[in-house]
Amino acid sequence: PLVQNITSPDTEGVSSLGWLLDQYLEQRQSSQDPLSRAAPFASRVRRLCHLLVHVEPPPEPSPEPSTRSISKNSKTRDRSPGPSAALPSSSLRNITQCWLSVVQGQVSRFLAAAWRAPDFVPRYCKLYEHLQRAGSELFGPRAAFTVALRSGFSGALLQQSFLTAAHISEQFARHIDQQIQGGLVGGAPGVEMLGRLQRHLEPIMVLSGLELATTFEHFYQHYMADRLLSVGSSWLEGAVLEQIGPCFPNRLPQQMLRSLSTSEELQRQFHLFQLQRLDQQLLEQENEEEQGLEEEEEEAEEEEAEKELFIEDSSPTVSILVLSPRCWPVSPFCYLYHPRKCLPTEFCDALDRFSNFYSQSDSQSQNHPVLDMGPHRRGAWT
């Protein structure tokens, strides 16, 4: 009854315990000083919360009477285990719900004041860490209060308008992009870099399971595409996706990473394909020389074939990626329907050689399993 009384909201929607927790959060920094006036108050709130959540449930009824029940009749003993055993679970549920409401209120006020700020995400992560540590101080390492913390953040995000939520999602995606690129360029040790990045990813995990996650996935796709095409893939990309993967309901970033890996394998197989053609041409040339069948037309054809192979020629080195449009965001303005109208001849020759290999790979998919991407494959240059 005591827990129910202090966790029940009044006419203004504020409970006694909720008011105490709000005051504790506001005075938490100043209460770190033992000489401050806020220190005794914070200590009393912590002791109260410890008392409320750390009370162990009563033991199961046993045939032997306990020391407390010696002076009581058997009727009291028979009736006491029922309500007492049910009390702790309901009490804990009321306290966690109160903590959830306090967190949601704190986050809602923060979002209303700072969602347009340029440093919104670092401040958001700092608020998450502040509330996480406060919850640990008040309630200890209980999983129920960790779940309540995340539910409070999720509830506050769900209350935002569509435009506000979209802006927040874009800020999250941009911040992760900056952290990954900064980590790759900064050259920090791998473990240290990943640990620093994880502290920024945990507060964003509250998007998992929300409708807002689809918007976040859309923005993350675009930032990830620019990052992969400019900087290239790295182990950090996979580590980040492994942690925040539940935030992507359609798993499009994971598919992008697999598509890029498949494309790199395709490049290696194209190189082997070129070498096989070169070996075949040289073998035919050797056979013709042995048979004395060297004609001018045949020599011209061989020179043309060797030019097509572009082995050790002066044409530019071209790296071609075959990316699936099902997961890679490509603007319609990027498509090149006639590359020869826009690009130099040497560049287009390299594209043609790869196009021939790509079109012929359908019939050779049994030798190149990675190329088996389904029937009617059609490439479009971008």
| 179 has a pLDDT exceeding 80 | yes
Give CA 257 to chain center in angstroms.
13
What is the C-alpha to C-alpha distance for residues 34 and 39, in angstroms, rounded to an integer?
6
* pLDDT for residue 102: 95
Annotate the chain with three-state secondary structure: CHHHHHHCCCCCCCCHHHHHHHHHHHCCCHHHCCCCCHHHHHHHHHHHHHHHHCCCCCCCCCCCCCCCCCCCCHHHHHHCHHHHHHHHHHHHHHHHHHHHHHHHHHHHHHHHHHCCCCCHHHHHHHHHHHHHHHHHHHHCCCHHHHHHHHHHHHHHHHCCCHHHHHHHHHHHHHHHHHHHHHHHHHCCCHHHHHHHHHHHHHHHHHHCCCCHHHHHHHHHHHHHHHHHHHCCCCHHHHHHHHHHHHHCCCCHHHHHHHHHHHHHHHHHHHHHHHHHHHHHHHHHHHHHHHHCCCCHHHHHHHHHHHHHHCCCCCCCCCCCCCCCCCCCCCCHHHCECCHHHCCCHHHHHHHHHHHHHHHHCCCCCCCCHHHCCCCCCCCCEC
- Neighbour count for residue 23 (Cβ, 10 Å): 14
| 374 has a pLDDT exceeding 70 | no
* pLDDT for residue 310: 46
Using pLDDT thresholds of 50, 70 and 90, give the confidence band for residue 83: very low
* pLDDT for residue 10: 81
| 78 has a pLDDT exceeding 60 | no
Using pLDDT thresholds of 50, 70 and 90, give the confidence band for residue 164: very high
Between 85 and 89, the more confident residue is 89
Region 242-262 average pLDDT: 93
* pLDDT for residue 372: 42
Region 291-298 average pLDDT: 60
Using pLDDT thresholds of 50, 70 and 90, give the confidence band for residue 122: very high
Q: Determine the topology of domain 1-55+89-159 in CATH.
A: 5 helical Cullin repeat like (1.20.1310)
pLDDT digits (tens, 9 = 90+) for 180-211: 888 776 655 567 777 888 888 999 999 999 99
Instruction: Look up the pTM and report it.
Output: 0.77
| 315 has a pLDDT exceeding 60 | no
Specify whether the CB–CB gap between 102 and 151 falls below 8 A: no
Region 49-73 average pLDDT: 57
Between 269 and 59, the more confident residue is 269
* pLDDT for residue 60: 54
Using pLDDT thresholds of 50, 70 and 90, give the confidence band for residue 245: very high
| 116 has a pLDDT exceeding 90 | yes
* pLDDT for residue 367: 47
The length of the chain in residues reads: 382
* Cα four-point dihedral sign 338, 342, 346, 347: negative
Report the mean per-residue pLDDT for the chain: 80
Q: Half-sphere exposure (CA, 13 Å, Cβ side) for 118? A: 0
In the chain, residues under CATH classification 1.20.1310 are 1-55+89-159
- Give the CA-trace dihedral at 58, 59, 63, 69, to 10 degrees: -30
* Percent of the chain clearing pLDDT 70 (strictly above): 78
